[in-house]
Amino acid sequence: MNHAIDNLGFARVDVDRQTRQGVGEVVYGAGKSAAQIVEILRSLAAHGQSPALVTRLDAAKAAAVAAAMGADFTYFADAHLGRLGANRPADGRGTIAVACGGTSDLPVAEEAARTAEALGNTVVRLYDVGVAGLHRLLACSDALKAARVVIAVAGMEGALPSVIGGLVAAPVIAVPTSVGYGASFGGVAALLAMLNSCAAGVSVVNIDNGFGAGFLASRINHLGEAT
């Protein structure tokens, strides 16, 4: 099986992934220089891979990339995410609800939300609805129940996805964050709690992996209805 590759020397860019999988290659920005990111983005753009996303992108690199790529490049500081090109039209079959436990979880929640929007989804944000004030979550129950997919982002003890999983019929994608005190072990406590959820229909991505949650939610939201 042959797939088109643009060999830049430091990177082999998969330039037909959008044709093969529906979404182009996504650039992981941490550990790459701004110059390397620019070259990869130029390769993706030249081969029609749009939008092209750059995750884990800090502000200094983003400024350098923006200077090189021009107005087509947008940086979302709240998500540490860059996007070359425009969001796809919102052609998902329903809405994706992104719920997070507290304000400290917002960078991960926004990474999920911005990713899903870039891939053609309508996103409803439900922020600061953690279980420490359960009435805040229950006040959003209509929006949660209306969503086709729910992304639940939480640190600390990671209980939010289990509670949401008991309220909705939609798939719930749990995202543990590294928010918490010492015994949270950088998000491991929340990860284990989510993996042990007693609510059916809850799946779990890695710690702080808002991108992975947004991408998976988009895949689910673009699936056709069962016949």
Structure tokens at 176: 């543990």
Percent with pLDDT over 90 in the chain? 87
Does residue 40 form part of some domain?
yes
Radius of gyration, alpha carbons of the chain: 18
Res. 22 pLDDT band, cuts 50 70 90: confident
Residue 196 gets which letter from DSSP? T
Does residue 136 form part of some domain?
yes
Q: What is the pLDDT of residues 104-148, one digit of tens each?
A: 999 999 999 999 999 999 999 999 999 999 999 999 999 999 999
Same domain, 39 and 10: yes
Q: Find out whether 202 and 194 touch, Cβ atoms under 8 Å.
A: yes
Does residue 75 form part of some domain?
yes
CB neighbourhood size of 30 (10 A): 11
Last residue of a domain, one of 55, 84, 113: 84
State how far the alpha carbon of 200 is from the alpha carbons of 53, 107, 162, in Å: 32, 27, 9
Overall size of the chain counted in residues: 227
Does residue 162 form part of some domain?
yes
Last residue of a domain, one of 65, 84, 103: 84
Last residue of a domain, one of 50, 84, 118: 84
Residue 88 gets which letter from DSSP? P
Does residue 25 form part of some domain?
yes
Same domain, 201 and 106: yes
What angle separates helix 210-221 from helix 106-118, to the nearest 10 degrees?
A: 40
Rounded to whole angstroms, the Cα distance separating 63 from 16 reads 28
pLDDT at residue 224 in the model: 83
CATH assignment of the domain containing 124? 3.40.50.1970
Same domain, 80 and 148: no
Number of domains in the chain: 2
Does residue 126 form part of some domain?
yes
Residues spanned by the domain of 131: 95-221
Residue 1 has pLDDT above 60, yes or no: no
Residues contacting residue 48 through CB under 8 Å, at least 6 positions apart: 18
Strand bridging mode 12-14 / 5-7:
antiparallel
Same domain, 76 and 102: no
Res. 226 pLDDT band, cuts 50 70 90: very low
* Residue 140: exposure state from Cβ atoms within 10 A (0-12, 13-18, ≥19): middle
Residue 2 has pLDDT above 80, yes or no: no
Same domain, 67 and 122: no
Q: Which helix (H) or strand (E) holds 117?
A: helix 106-118
Q: Is 155 helix (H, G, I), strand (E, B) or coil?
A: coil
CB neighbourhood size of 101 (10 A): 29
